[in-house]
Amino acid sequence: MSHSSPVFPAKLLVTGGAGFIGSNFVLRAVSAGHTVVNLDALTYAGNLDNLAALASNPQHIFVQGDIGDAGLIARLLDEHQPNAIIHFAAESHVDRSILGPEVFLRTNILGTFTLLQAALTYWRSLAATSAQHFRFLHISTDEVYGSLAPSAPAFREDSPYAPNSPYSASKASSDHLVRAWFHTFGLPVLTTNCSNNYGPFQFPEKLIPLMIHNALSGKPLPVYGDGLNVRDWLYVEDHCEALLTVLERGRVGETYNIGGLNEQTNREVVARLCAVLDRIHPAGAPHDRLICFVTDRPGHDRRYAIDCSKIHSELGWRPRESFTSGLEKTVSWYFEHDDWVKRIASGEYRNLLAQNYSTS
């Protein structure tokens, strides 16, 4: 089957669109003219507050439900006839995957399988032209490639998979399923593997929002191990723009790495955050006095780095935001949305902190 460019503006079935990246994507997609059917189970990480700006917008249809519910997905596809599926829904936090891996296997592997099967049935039922335009965009992570030595070249699309945590192993499995549904059944898939995102609406269990939240509350800033682990950081809006670019112009069956060209050790990230906080929210004493080193994460990957030359040369995408401006925007957003964090920082969140930081 030949593939034509997807229809624009389109009707998109987005999974996990009430989470961090998903909600940023939904807001952007709707403002670009697309209509979004947003399927999200509203786990601890899903938050309809993120989508308050779309409350009375007919271009956004929210459905609470699980990607593992085959009947529900079949009904949604039949009723809404989307032009593409954008698959964000996942359990996404490495530390939680160490504390309780089962739900990662259920959602990330079995959930993706269920979605692929429903997508395949739906795609096969479409008229030839609609089928040629259809896309299944699977959102994945650079963590599937494992850990890099300090001077090793960055991950490329053809780097071998070597996942080390239950989270990355479950995402790697889902990537393999997506690949197989293309090669065996011809489902028109696209996969993206992205580095660490930061920005508005990120749940404060991840490094940057956790540090901002703790710093604003005068609490310790817990850096794991020696703090010299390296991540590549990308502002979430740059990621969303890359996803729309891949959806529009990516070659079916291909994988695209997305990165921020911005490798930093955790120590550097926290020090820079403290400097921004000192400027935006002076606390009488420098915020870096709150930094403390705590027990390392088991199996902690030392370094991730992304070579994003393929998406740049093929599709013309590059990150726009600098780390300095991105961090300033992010700190300002959390500072101005104290109520958003307060609503989250309740019972379930406190349990995670008690479990995850108990030996420190």
CB of 298 vs ligand NAD, minimal distance in Å: 20
Nearer residue to ligand NAD within complex by CB, 21 or 223: 21
Q: Which 293-352 positions form the footprint of ligand TYD (CB under 6 A)?
A: 297
In the range 134-173, which residues lie near ligand TYD by CB under 6 A? none
Q: Which of 196, 245, 255, 262 binds ligand TYD (CB under 6 A)?
A: 196
Q: Residue 5, SS3?
A: coil
Measured from the CB atom, is 60 or 231 closer to ligand TYD? 231
The interface partner of residue 144, options being ligand TYD, ligand NAD, none and the CB cut-off 5 to 8 Å by kind, is none
With beta carbons less than 8 A apart as the criterion, state whether 353 and 93 touch. Answer: no
Residue 210 interaction partner, one of ligand TYD, ligand NAD, none, beta carbon < 5-8 Å per kind: ligand TYD
Q: Which residues are catalytic?
A: 142-143, 167
- Contact residues for 12 (Cβ-Cβ < 8 A; gap 6+): 29, 34, 35, 36, 37, 82, 83, 84, 85, 86
Burial class from Cβ neighbours inside 10 Å (0-12, 13-18, 19+) for residue 330 reads buried
Distance CA 261, CA 242 (A): 14
Residues numbered 263-282 forming contacts with ligand NAD, rule: CB under 6 A? none
Beta carbons of 41 and 69 less than 8 angstroms apart? no
User: Hey, is 308 helix, strand or coil?
Assistant: coil
First to last CA, the chain: 56
Examine residue 229 and tell whether it contacts ligand NAD (CB under 6 A): no
Q: Does 107 bind ligand NAD (CB under 6 A)?
A: yes
Residue nearest to ligand NAD (CB): 19
Distance CA 271, CA 70 (A): 46
Pairing of strands 263-265, 230-235: antiparallel
Q: Give the HSE-up count for residue 105: Cα atoms under 13 Å, Cβ half-sphere.
A: 5
Counting contacts by CB under 6 A, is residue 229 touching ligand TYD? yes
**Residue 255 touching ligand NAD (CB under 6 A):** no
Of the residues 138, 231, 287, 303, which one makes contact with ligand TYD according to CB under 6 A: 231
DSSP 359: T
Q: Does 92 bind ligand NAD (CB under 6 A)?
A: yes
Residues 58-117 that bind ligand TYD (CB under 6 A): 94
Interface ranges with ligand NAD (CB under 6 A) = 15-16, 18-22, 40-43, 45-46, 66-68, 88-92, 107, 111, 139-141, 171, 194, 196-197, 203
